[in-house]
Amino acid sequence: MLSRRIGGAELDVLVADITTLSVDAIVNAANTSLLGGGGVDGAIHRAAGPELLAECQMLHGCKTGDAKITKGYRLKAAHVIHTAGPVWNGGTLGEDDLLASCYRRSMELCGKHELTSVAFPAISTGIYRFPADRAAEIAVRTTIEGLAAAPSVARVVFCCFAEPSAKLHAGALARYGSPCA
């Protein structure tokens, strides 16, 4: 849908099923238990198989705004980065900072594990009700800032479930970088 080059990385926005992407890691918009749930979390757990749940049980959850990494098991992606996004409560309880932290911590894990590609869903915009336009701006800005902590990353995908979300991410991304050829 849209592609931009920022430094040495290509950033893409597309509408797709994140569980089908061939990237080093997909990011899971998880709950704090990391034991599966609805939306993208449930889809990732179903596609990865029961081994993912078994590994997640060993992680003892994840604080809101933090991220943890596991193997990808039956997914095309070698890894899953699980991040617990904030529930929207009107914007006065630090939700913006917590959402930014999800993207920042995920990029830090990409750097630590020398991953070259990562795909993000629109974290917290489903049942957690984070305003989609605000979330897209935070996602794009924080991910671009996070590239410095992950010099190995050559490709970032903002994988949206539906066209309206993709348009918001594309609009945010269009304000940064230059188009890719």
C-alpha dist (Å) from residue 2 to 11, 65, 145, 147, 170: 8, 27, 19, 18, 6
| Catalytic residue, candidates 12, 17, 24, 41 | 41
- Among 28, 25, 12, 19, CA closest to 114: 25
Distance CA 150, CA 27 (A): 15
41 is a catalytic site residue: yes
Tokens 């609805």 — which residue? 38
Q: Angle 21-166-49 (CA atoms, 0-180°, nearest 5)?
A: 30
Radius of gyration in angstroms for the set of CA atoms belonging to the chain, rounded to a whole number: 15
Distance CA 157, CA 113 (A): 18
Strands 178-179, 2-6: pairing kind: antiparallel
Cβ-proximal residues to 165 (8 Å cutoff; 6+ apart), any chain: 15, 122, 125, 132, 136
Go through the chain and tell me how many residues it has: 181
The catalytic residue positions are 41
